[in-house]
Amino acid sequence: MKKQSSLLVLFLSLITLSTSAQTYNALRIPDTLSGTTFNLAMKDTFAQILPGNQTITGGINANFWGPTLFINKGDTVHMNVQNNLNDSTTLHWHGMHLPAVMDGGPHQVIPPGTLWQPYWKVTNDAATYWYHPHLHETTEEQITKGLGGLIIVRDSVESALPLPRTYSVDDIPLVLTDRDITTANQFSVVPYGDSMMVNGTLRPQYTIPAQVVRFRILNGAIERSYNLGFSDSRTFYVITSDGGLLSTPVALTRYLLHAGERIEILVNCSGQSGTNVFLKAYNSTLSQQTPGGDLFPNGPFANYLARIDFNILRLNISNQTSNPITAIPTALRTVTTIPAANANLTRFLTISDTNIVGIPGASFLLNHKLFNINYNNYAVPLNNTEIWQITNSGNFGHPFHIHDVEFNIISSNGAAPAAAQAGWKDVVFVPANTTVKFIAKFDDYADSLHPFMFHCHISLHEDEGMMGQFIVTGNNPTGVSEITNEESRFSLYPNPASEKLFVKLKEEYEGIYYLRLTNSIGRTILMLPRPQIENGIDISHLTPGIYFVQVTDEKTLKTTTQKFIKQ
Ligand code: C2O
Ligand code: CU
Ligand code: CU
């Protein structure tokens, strides 16, 4: 919907605003899952976003968005990701430190009808992370549909602090996005929407208790940044950056949150029962060079939220709960950042424009190149501590994201990071004509086959090729996995099998890097990165017939195949 229909909607909403205060919808709160095994089914579906036609959406165990996953630092978590979409996809665990083969980037494609089973030991600190599709050139479309979810990591440091942590009561997830909705109530795949949404809810309101409330805020938008603040300009306290708690709560009245970033904030509503306040985006102050501040008279970038202040969420403050948190803590934890002197390498990256203004068809370049999935930008030696220095010579700012690591910002335009950014981050905004430096340590996971990604987190830019990749090199073999004709290094039993299939490795074999199960016409059914095969592979859900198991050897990265019959 551009121009005329949008004008109509704007007009109608102005009327409703002036005639009624009852036009708010109850904020949806995503369901939760916890434990160590998570079943996530991605599907094409419908949601009642507006009265009338349902909206074609994507959901994960839901009809828009997915469950919030609670995981504990130190646990090993197992994900059963079932792709029931009509298209291939991937599922990326944004911010998680894990093996590249489990990362869910563009190389870990899940074909339709396939179950993908990554697992990893959680080493991230307590904070809010998220998961979302990452299939190259399809990310914007699949995120627009609503595919994604939050991850809340808990650890003993955070758990010992007097912080609100009752989900949906005093600890509230807010996934910020905006959408363009057609007159037939469908989402358009465009970078900027005309309608603000929180957790998939238009014009949301929510009731919170009159005490200290924690909001976990994700900028899940395709492109827009949100300059967050409250309608009474009250102070709020930022307690996390993307990847963990800050050392102390940082008192602010505005925070500019870019695509992909998360903050957790505390707001003290003690004694305010019976009042209300709006969380707003104060985007009227943004420049043409900041996502959401850029004005376009028409075309796909034109939108009604550009460079204005708008409401995000109405908060109705009500009675206190029992045992409320009523004070903002003065200290959170000790944050030990990586000293710049620890770096053994600096990498110099560039961001540049191919056109002066972001006219449709324009691309932004990383290192003067468009992404090529077969080109590896960097080989990072395992355990390197590196400074990444990113110089944006272009006329637009970009939120830069890297996989695998959390980093510390060293400087932006020569200045040390603001207090609320002085912890662990995985996205950093690189403003126009600015240089940003961060430092990170690349430990634990080397893999010569599966790279990690770095990219602009504006999904439109990422899909257009503003992305690169690196492998972390260790002492594992290099080279590509080949399917060979040599004698298989494994055998399968029982064969035929009905419930469980066991893999027996020949002696010299060190382990399985990858196991893929395909049916008789070559369709992938099951993908097991680095499978733990001691307990066998559950094949009870397969229809009877002939199947093939492809096993890639951990040591040589060679792939051999065996057939089995499912009874
Ligand atoms: Cu949240 Cu590579 O992305
Ligand atoms: Cu990521
Ligand atoms: Cu960008």
Q: Which atom of ligand 1 lies nearest, measured to the CA of 130?
A: 1
Q: Quickly state the pLDDT bin for 16 (edges 50, 70, 90).
A: very low
Q: Quickly state the pLDDT bin for 270 (edges 50, 70, 90).
A: very high
Q: Phi/psi at 428 (nearest 5 deg)?
A: -135, 135
Residue 254: Cβ-neighbour burial (10 angstroms; 0-12, 13-18, 19+)? middle
Alpha-carbon distance 130 to 263, whole Å?
12
CB of 261 closer than 8 Å to CB of 219: yes
Closest ligand (CA of 353): 3
Question: Residue 379: what pLDDT?
Answer: 96
Q: Quickly state the pLDDT bin for 12 (edges 50, 70, 90).
A: very low
Alpha-carbon distance 278 to 72, whole Å?
33
Question: Residue 487: what pLDDT?
Answer: 77
Question: Residue 489: what pLDDT?
Answer: 82
Q: Which atom of ligand 1 lies nearest, measured to the CA of 462?
A: 2
CB of 269 closer than 8 Å to CB of 210: yes
Is ligand 1 within 6 A of the CB of residue 107? no
Task: Identify the residue whose C-alpha is closest to ligand 1 atom 1.
Answer: 94
Q: Which of the pair, 462 or 21, is modelled with greater confidence?
A: 462
Instruction: Give the helix ranges, DSSP H, for 412-512.
Output: 459-464
pLDDT in tens, 338-351: 999 999 999 999 99
According to DSSP, residue 91 is labeled -
Is ligand 1 within 6 A of the CB of residue 403? yes
Task: Identify the residue whose C-alpha is closest to ligand 1 atom 3.
Answer: 94
Residue that the structure tokens 């094949």 belong to? 539
Question: Residue 140: what pLDDT?
Answer: 98
Question: Residue 506: what pLDDT?
Answer: 83
Q: Is the pTM of this model over 0.75?
A: yes
pLDDT in tens, 22-51: 599 999 999 999 999 999 999 999 999 999
Q: Which of the pair, 309 or 2, is modelled with greater confidence?
A: 309
pLDDT at 9 over 80: no
Question: Residue 486: what pLDDT?
Answer: 72
CB of 81 closer than 8 Å to CB of 116: yes
